[in-house]
Chains A and B, each alone.
Chain A
Amino acid sequence: MRNISSVLGRLAKSISISLVLLFAVTMTSNAQDAKEGAALFKANCSSCHKIDKKFTGPALAGMSERHDEEWLVKWIKNSGAMIAAGDPMAKQIFEEYNKVAMPAFTQFSDDQIKGIIAFVKEEEARLAAGPADGGATGGAAATNDANNFMIIGMAAIFLLAIGVIVILSRVTKTLEKVIANNQAAVEAARVRNESVEETGKVKFAQKFLKNKKLVGFAALMVVGLLAVLGWQTMWNVGVHQGYKPVQPIKFSHQIHAGVNQIECQYCHGGAYKSKNASIPSANVCMNCHNTITASDHYNGETSPEILKLYRAVDWDPDTRTYGDNPRPIEWVRIHNLPDFAYFNHSQHVSVAGIECQTCHGPIETMEEVYQYSPLTMKWCVDCHKTTEVNADNKYYDQLIEAHEKLKKGEKMTAAMIGGLECGKCHY
């Protein structure tokens, strides 16, 4: 079923692509330039411009209709000069976009700029063709077909199932008849075999029961098994290793910390100076996400997850303004320490120089974050027993001196300087 619909979908797609290609081929005049233009556009323009909608700068669709090419070339090369020179159209655009000047691109040749314009035209046509042309309608038809196919398929399966049931019931009935016919024979056979079989079973049971040692051993095994199971369960009460709750926003550490290599403390700034690493406030997200909308992956639309962020900070991406109705994001806390345990991130991150990953695991590969470490006291203590104190810190001078005297040659672990004492974490 699924295959059929996907095949149809693919078919529709290829049709639409070929249509577009056909369309494109008809406008080969600038194809070569447009290719270079595409590269230039991506590198220089796309951070502020989109083809089909307003962004930091105006939507570019239809710019060739609005302005002649000469004007556009001039504008792109140095819009500031045009505004300063008092070009009425330039001034109007400047005013309209909050007096944010477009940077000058004097390094471009006229041909390069024309290439960009050509690319924009091409894109514009492609986008226009998308919804209007056969591709889209074809797709829609295909999905409709797919739906029909599904319904028909379901019906077929249903019928098949009924058929199977009918056949099975027939078989059963036949078999019952056969059994009924052979009842007498079976009875006779059972009576014949009974004595032999039953005595076998009973004998085994009796033998087993008579062997007290064996019974005792079996009972012991059962009790032992239960005890081990119970023990393990009890030890894991309150341990939530692997806890991976569904978060209100599908935030991916894999993209942020892994692919984009953003330093952990850019967002979790508390980790190096406070006891709380702290979940970043939404304004930190907005530092990047006021321009990054991940639209490449969502057909030019802003990612729905980023829209959730916009909703939280009450940001209107069209007018690029903040409203006055922010709604905090309620994340689900993954790492929960009990209230009676004091943990300070800065002590571990800044003073001891421990990597985030030591406790939080390969966070840069986590699509969704889960609790990597057990966060039990044993886990803390084990680490304190083996981790060497970062002796570069002048605070430890006195302790290290004393330690050298006490134990020559051995490394000084956190445990040795009181890292296992109750009051270090419980107060």
Chain B
Amino acid sequence: MDSNKKYWKGLEELNQTPAFVENNKGEFAEPIPVEDVLNEAGLSTRTPRRDFLKALGFGLGAVTLAACNRTPVHKAVPYVIKPEEITPGIPNYYASSFNGQSILVRTREGRPISVEANPNGVGLNQGTDANTVASVLDLYDMSKLQNPQIGGKDVEWSKLDATVIAALTKAAAAGKQITIVSNTVNSPSTLASIAKLSAKYPTANHIQVDAISYSGIVEANKNNFGKAVIPSYNFGNAQIVVSVAADFLGSWLAGEEHTQDYIKNRDYKSLKNGKMSRHIQFESGLSMTGSNADVRIAIKPSEEGAVLISLYNEITGQSVAGGTTNAKAQTAIKLAAKELVAAKGKSIVVAGANDVNVQSLVNAINTQLGAYGIIIDLDNYSKQHQGSDAAFQQFLTAAKAGQVGVAFFLNSNPVYDYFKAEDVKAAIAKIDFTLSFADRAEETASTLNAIAPVPTYLESWGDASSKEGLYTVVQPTINPVFNTRQAEQSLLVWAGETTNIYDFVKQTWDTTILAGTGKSWKDVLQVGYIYKGTNQGSSYSANVDVNAVSSAIVADAKKVAGEVELKLYESTVMRDGRYANNAYLQELPDPVSKVTWDNYAALNPKFAEQLGLGENGKVKVEANGYSLELPVVLQPGQAMGTVSVALGYGRTHVGKAGNNVGHNAYPFAALVNGTVQLAAKATVTKASGTYELAQTQTHHTIEGRNIIRETTFAKYLKDPNSESGRFSDTHKTYDLWNKFEQPGHKWVMAIDLNACTGCGSCIVACNVENNIPVVGRDEVRRRREMHWLRIDRYYTIEDNGTKYTKEKEIAHIDDFENVTVVHQPMLCQHCEHAPCETVCPVLATVHSSEGLNHMAYNRCFGTRYCANNCPYKVRRFNWFNYWNDSRFDNYLNNEFTQLVLNPDVTTRSRGVMEKCSMCIQRIQAGKLQAKMENRKLKDGDVKMACQAACSANAIIFGDANDPESEVSKALRNERVYYVLEEINVQPNIGYMTKVRNTFEA
């Protein structure tokens, strides 16, 4: 039987607030005043019936007249000389890379329209993060610069070149430094071009600084191993994972790659083999990683070090001073340590703090656990985060002393993302000539002398090396759209070289990377990457003075410790703020809080209550001499006495969509031990006013019906059917309708709740594939977001084995720290007995012989009955022509940006219902491909956009009529259940129970 555990989406649902109850009654936020108009009193209202009918009559006449138009003449303009590889109507794929991940770019008629992971790549190869999928929109961003600028005025490239070369010559003559400030650069070609400039101007130097710094890890590894690198982590080999405030599935280092490996020990295939890893998370704010943990302990930021000291003591049996005093944490640490030691060689501890001492202690623990080599790879180390806080400090000092003659900023925006913007501004003011390679006049670039705008990666030649030994190529999929030039090309020109960028990249590869591999440049362009590293690193042993490190940790913790502590974090969606103008990302709900279009102060509900705060409240957060007024999110799972604020918001010079969204939290950070750290002692006070966040958590709620199935690993091992609560196991079902034959294909999907981390890249992939409009903050507040696929996040409270089943009990618990979370992707279930189909008066939504619920947009006239009748609440109504309405001028209201639209999918117009089509355009294309090749359709020929974006392989799609297909196998799994099976709508999407590998009490 299914569990009677209480699941809730938000506190308003838990507490059944009047607003929630009211909203919950209808499918739509604003009811239409039909009854008011039609009853007798309606005549005297503002819009009386007669006026209504008059308006209706006039409208009908006017529309008829307006429609009396001559049919427009359509022109068909073929190529003059058609490129050989292009056939209109057929997509081309190019291997490229984004942030070091090998990807495939799909182009249609020469324009890139979507990005997917390269399935043959090394590292992350079965999905992408939300930023990667969304990156295609950045190409069509109208907020970018279209010409190089000097002093804010457009100039010719020749003029800019002359100016820059003059400045360089002058600086070189005066013996002043020429500094290139960049974020992490791992591209061999970029480095080579910088070397060319350095060769011409000997005073030139290159420093790297990242908005989110990982210097602490680099420094610790330098001290402990003599290797100043960030290792690669292979979570696929880890059976026990303890994370202390590291959001390693989200924003920490290579989150998406970690997800891919981590889930391999937890998904249905692993469970089938009776194996599942255990994950214990200690953290302040509820991160996405924390929401997926088996055991999660809420701690204050100041306790992070202490937890690690205690853990070290438990593992080694030593008694280093400074262990944690938090009772809950102590128990968990004891259990965790036992497990860690038992699984030596298969266990790992990671910590999120950017602190040399904390990371040194972690290195010591991991050495004890024997994690080096198997899980932590220091040989094939990561090259994605090489920024050095110390180097940037030196640069600022030198600049303020007037020693820097020229500074170039490459992908670096310190005026926005450095915690002391004034220092940066003061330094810039002292530099004779400053230039940015930004693609737009962002916060830093707009204060500099000149901007040499660069094209996006989709228009560029280049390369990347995200990991030692791994080289990926960046190849253009379209000519540069604007009058831009790659930074590498500019550097070459200024260094007096005449090579064009293509030849330069090719030369770099031919001479350095490809030498001795037997591979040619053309092979690389086809495959997209080359890997020269090894499969596994060798073993290392950290040389750490634990006592010294621990006392330093304790001393530093005291500075942060306070009644209220602030924790800054990198949002999984917005990251460091680089992609803030990407509307797809802005509207992607945060995996945990489900807030869109804003950052906020996350407070524990009980803590907020103490402060006198409720829903829609605002607080003033003060720390490190900086203060912000932020809207409050009552975040279950947040540690008491802590406040979490996301970085990456509050950009002011990024573009239409991203300007002034949220508030900039970078100034809260501080330099501690030579690294930028994201925790601080803070004060939180109630601020006046209210602010309604565009939070989707209780939109489309399922009336408290029991739709989540959850079990524990121990129970699962005893009985794989445990808690799956299948209705059909215990009930006989009856059918009103005749069976509908589906002899060809029967498209079904299986979703593994244990694999889904809630990251949301599937949502963005769905947006891009299906031309789903972004509606903006106000419309999200009205519950009008258009996402066909949403991820419902359910909280439940489990305290010391006690399950809370009644609202009343929950109301009496003292804190909301011990919540557990289940993420459930929810999309059209393509029910065999679809309730939407029976109520459509015009048969706009009907069933197909392949098991799909079709939606004919041109037939729909917008009664919205279907949405009202859908038990899963997955139907979306177009209230406006979002792509052609000046009120929704986020991104798509211009002809250029509209080129991002997928030409195989109709853009829906106002007044039409839409919903997940199961990427029918992909199904049809896959079938056609098989027919053209005169063969049967193979499993895996058709992939859904969401499936292709999921690095956790949580979404499995295929043909149920093929018993050997992956999805058929998955659906035969004992864990499979169907949501709301009891109402006999016969959904075609099966879910697999969530399994939690908790400690056995």
Contacts and interface: CB of A to CB of B under 8 A. Distances in A.
Interface in A329-375: 329-333, 336, 338-342, 344, 346-347, 350-351
Interface string B262-294: 000000000000000000000000000000000
Interface string B512-553: 000000000000000000000000000000000000000000
B928 A344 contact: yes
A351 B928 CA distance: 8
Contact of A406 (B75, B89, B741): B741
Nearest to B847: A421
B81 A326 contact: yes
Chain B CB within 10 Å, residue with most, of A282, A421, A423: A423
B852 interface: yes
Interface stretch (B179-187, B253-261, B854-862): B854-862
Interface stretch (B140-148, B488-496, B919-927): B919-927
Interface in B873-893: none
B78 A393 contact: no
Given A330-B75, A331-B76, A273 B81 contact: no
B152 interface: no
Contact of A238 (B71, B917, B924): B71
B743 interface: yes
Contacts of B961: 398
Interface string A261-276: 0000000011001111
A280 interface: yes
B852 A423 contact: yes
Interface residues of B, number: 48
B980 interface: no
A330 B927 CA distance: 34
Given A328-B77, A418-B849, A423 B932 contact: no
B1 interface: no
Nearest to A405: B743
Given A274-B89, A275-B89, A282 B917 contact: no
A336 B73 CA distance: 10
Contacts of B936: 394-395, 397-398
A281 B77 CA distance: 9
B848 interface: yes
A402 B931 contact: no
Interface in A308-335: 312-313, 326-333
Nearest to B68: A237
A32 interface: no
B75 A394 contact: no
B270 to A, nearest CB: 33
Contacts, number: 160
Contact of A240 (B71, B744, B849): B71
A235 interface: no
A27 interface: no
A287 B433 CA distance: 56
B935 A394 contact: yes
Interface size class of A (residues with CB under 8 A): 35 or more
A395 B78 contact: no
A427 B905 contact: yes
A242 interface: no
B848 A421 contact: yes
B743 A406 contact: yes
Given A278-B87, A393-B934, A427-B906, A418 B744 contact: yes
B846 interface: yes
A283 B82 contact: yes
B628 interface: no
Contacts of A276: 87-89
Contact of A279 (B76, B905, B907): B76
Contact of B82 (A238, A281, A346): A281
A228 interface: no
A245 to B, nearest CB: 7
Q: Is the interface of B mostly helix, strand, loop or mixed?
A: loop
A340 B80 contact: no
B77 A338 contact: no
Contacts of A426: 854, 856-859, 906
B670 interface: no
B79 interface: yes
B930 interface: yes
B703 interface: no
A418 B849 CA distance: 6
A399 interface: yes
Interface string A221-255: 00000000000000000101000010000000000
A347 B928 CA distance: 7
A424 interface: yes
A212 B80 CA distance: 71
A332 B850 contact: no
Interface in B63-96: 71, 73-82, 87-90
Given A274-B89, A274-B90, A427-B921, A417 B78 contact: no
A403 interface: yes
Nearest to B909: A340
A427 B859 CA distance: 11
Interface in B826-858: 844, 846, 848-850, 852, 854-858
B80 A313 contact: yes
A202 interface: no
Given A278-B87, A426-B857, A346 B928 contact: yes
B165 interface: no
A185 interface: no
Contacts of A245: 73
Chain B CB within 10 Å, residue with most, of A238, A275, A329, A332: A275
A238 B848 CA distance: 28
A328 B854 contact: no
Contacts of A342: 904, 921, 924
Contacts of B917: 423, 427
A271 to B, nearest CB: 10
B14 interface: no
Given A269-B87, A347-B931, A281 B71 contact: no
Given A245-B73, A270-B89, A326-B80, A399 B932 contact: no
A240 B71 CA distance: 9
B937 interface: yes
B89 A402 contact: no
B129 to A, nearest CB: 27
A422 B917 CA distance: 12
Contacts of B846: 421-422
Given A283-B80, A329-B78, A399-B743, A340 B934 contact: no
Contacts of A312: 80
Nearest to B962: A398
A340 B904 contact: no
Chain B CB within 10 Å, residue with most, of A240, A274, A422, A427: A427
Given A273-B932, A274-B87, A346-B928, A328 B857 contact: no
Nearest to B959: A398
A421 B857 contact: no
A397 to B, nearest CB: 7
Given A276-B89, A395-B930, A423 B856 contact: yes
B857 A340 contact: yes
Nearest to A269: B87
A424 B907 CA distance: 17
28 contacts: A238-B71, A274-B89, A274-B90, A276-B89, A278-B89, A279-B78, A280-B78, A313-B81, A328-B80, A330-B77, A332-B74, A332-B75, A341-B858, A344-B928, A347-B928, A350-B931, A395-B937, A396-B931, A398-B961, A402-B744, A403-B743, A418-B849, A421-B848, A422-B859, A423-B917, A427-B904, A427-B906, A427-B917
What 4 A-B pairs come out closest when comparing CB atoms?
A402-B743, A423-B854, A274-B89, A281-B82
Given A270-B87, A426-B858, 7 more contacts: A270-B89, A282-B78, A328-B80, A333-B74, A398-B936, A427-B917, A427-B921
Interface of B: 71, 73-82, 87-90, 741, 743-744, 844, 846, 848-850, 852, 854-859, 904-907, 917, 920-921, 924, 927-928, 930-932, 934-937, 961
